Amino acid sequence: MSERTRHEYPRPQWQRNDWLNLNGEWEFAFDDEDKGLNERWYSGSVSLPDTIQVPFAFQSKLSGIGNNDFHDIVWYRRAIVIPEHYQGKRVLLHFGAVDYRADVWVNGVLVASHEGGHTPFHGDVTDALLDEGNIVVVRAVDNSRDLTIPRGKQYWKRESEGCFYTRTTGIWQTVWMEAVPVTYLEKARMTPDIDKRQVEMEIQLAGRTVGSEESHQLQVEIRFKKKLIRKAIYEVHSTCRGITAVVDMEDEFGMWHLWSPEHPYLYDVTITLLREGQMIDVVDSYFGMRKIAVQNGKLCLNNRPYTQKLVLDQGYFPDGNLTPPGDEAIRRDVELAKAMGFNGVRKHQKLEDPRFLYWCDRLGLLVWSEAANAFDYSPDYVRRFTAEWQEAMERDYNHPCIVAWVPINESWGVPDIKVNESQQRHALAMYHLTKSLDSTRPVVSNDGWEMVTTDLYTIHDYEWRGEVLEERYTDLEKALAFMPAGRHLSVEGYPYAGQPILVTEFGGIAYRKSDWEGWGYSGAETDEDYEARLRAVIAPLQKSTMVQGYCYTQLTDVEQEINGLLTYDRVPKIALESIKAINEGK
């Protein structure tokens, strides 16, 4: 049994005590001839010839298959046992992520369909269940060569090359079940306001409509380090209830508890749904009192200028590809980033597993949440990408670690944005859509270059000579005139307007310290040479009075790309303390 099958709650921001993990061995089949639908594999009566370890994609070693050939249609099948205490409740079947389109049947009844390879979905399977012998079947379709599908770093050719990596097809995050009452707590949107010392909650109910015949209440309890600081009961007359709670607990020094990487304070929340005064549903959650904003041209955390020292994190693992081998591996990545003196990560071309965001919340690590982009532009791309991005924002809104949204990177999906008005309007629309869904965080319209309206002015610069970087970032005109990869920093008509400047990709120094062969943007030969090269690219950005943050490329080696601070197996290339000293300007 892999680490991944252990008790790791897959939705830590909205947690019930009782749930059933469905990871592990499933029946599996490739369907290259697309005959499964006609032959009614979904009925559940047809056994599949192979097996796979869920939630690992068949391309990964941990799946038990490790096949990198093109198989764009795959099927899964397994029997499930419904616990007796689920009787009388609604049973929900959840999927953390299935790449790219999924259809799910229970006992031959279609219970869910979903498009989008990086966001969760679920189906209410109650009415499809039988007293005995329940079978779940999943069909996943992933058109490997369609460049209008949001795919991030997954390559459309068989073998990885350059900065593109092994594909992921099918289930790649946890599959699980839970039981809920006929009216239940569906979700909550929590918005902290440190200036008013309060948190706003919008709590959503689902299931049977709340009506006037029965009295429903919401009980909200807020604790800090297990000490109750707020408890209140609110009447519910519809499926949505807004609540504002004061959060003003102070410590013995008169300081109250703001979330930051240095002090990742979290408030625990228990939300209870009552009917006629009787408890029918309970969910545990948490929030952080944290503010991220641009104030007087400065990027501020909790109303104070804050230099963001980020590391680019691709989120790939040697044997699991996009799927980590277990929760300890996720936590270890967070701990390693902090140990090297970084206070945040830019998750690159991957909408990360919520368990990663949980550990960033708990341990204190800023996150720039970046979409997995497509590469070509089309109306289908716009529809797909817009829908998936909205789902991602809804899933992750409550995480205090997230301090920036990045819908587009380096003009991926909008390759002709410099001259194509439709693509410019799309990038602008994504900026405003993101702001309309979350006015509390900065939004980067197109990270790296060819920006339209944007809250942060972000530059990708892989220059390796320290003296060149120092000269470039001591003069605003020189910085704005820089053309990374021959691209202008802004699209014509969207000039620099005083936003905070951050260098959000740089470094990329290749240093081979394992059996992996590969490349980087520049190269080192010895430990001493590597440390000197790191210092040469980081120090000029620290000295600059205009640069308010940076993101070093990258945390780990990934397949053929060996420019990580750690090997692919997470072994530091030089002492963690040495890298931390450089990040601290020592």
Domain residue extents for the chain: 24-173, 183-287, 303-583
Residue 253 has a pLDDT of 53
Write phi, then psi, for 134 (nearest 5 degrees): -90, 135
Decide: 358 and 13 in contact? Cβ < 8 Å. yes
Regions of the chain short of the pLDDT cut 50: 1-6
Q: Which CATH class is domain 24-173?
A: mainly beta
CB atoms within 10 A of CB 183: 22
In whole angstroms, give the CA distance from residue 530 to residue 517.
17
User: Could you tell me whether strands 457-461 and 402-406 are parallel, antiparallel, or unpaired per DSSP bridges?
Assistant: unpaired
Say which amino acid occupies 305.
P
User: Look-up: residue for tokens 């699991």?
Assistant: 320
Starting at the earlier edge strand, list the strands of the sheet with 292-295: 292-295, 298-301, 304-305
Nearest to 386 by CA among 395, 374, 401: 374
Burial of residue 542, with CB atoms counted within 10 A of its CB: 0-12 exposed, 13-18 middle, 19 or more buried: middle
Whether 503 contacts 540, CB under 8 Å: no
The average confidence (pLDDT) of the chain is 94
Name which CATH class applies to 183-287.
mainly beta
Structure confidence at residue 239 (pLDDT)? 85
**What backbone phi and psi angles, to 5 degrees, belong to 278?**
-105, 135
Residue with tokens 């205090």: 400
Angle between helices 576-583 and 527-543 (to 10 degrees): 20
Query: How far apart are the C-alpha atoms of 249 and 10, rounded to whole Å?
Result: 30
SS3 530: helix
Taking CA 410 as the corner, what is the angle to CA 322 and CA 310, rounded to the nearest 5 degrees?
65
Q: Which residue has the tokens 């929900």?
A: 92
Angle (deg, nearest 10), helices 379-396 and 421-437: 20
* Domain spanning 303-583: CATH 3.20.20.80: yes
What's the pTM? Answer: 0.96
Sheet with 73-80, strands from edge to edge, namely: 50-54, 24-30, 73-80, 134-141, 101-106, 109-115
What is the enclosing helix (H) or strand (E) of 204? strand 198-207
Q: DSSP readout, 309-340?
A: EEEEE---BTTTBTS-SSHHHHHHHHHHHHHT
Two domains, one topology: 24-173 and 303-583: no
Please name which of 149, 100, 553, 150 lies closest in space to residue 371, comparing C-alpha atoms. Answer: 150
- 427-467 confidence digits (pLDDT tens): 999 999 999 999 999 999 999 999 999 999 999 999 999 99
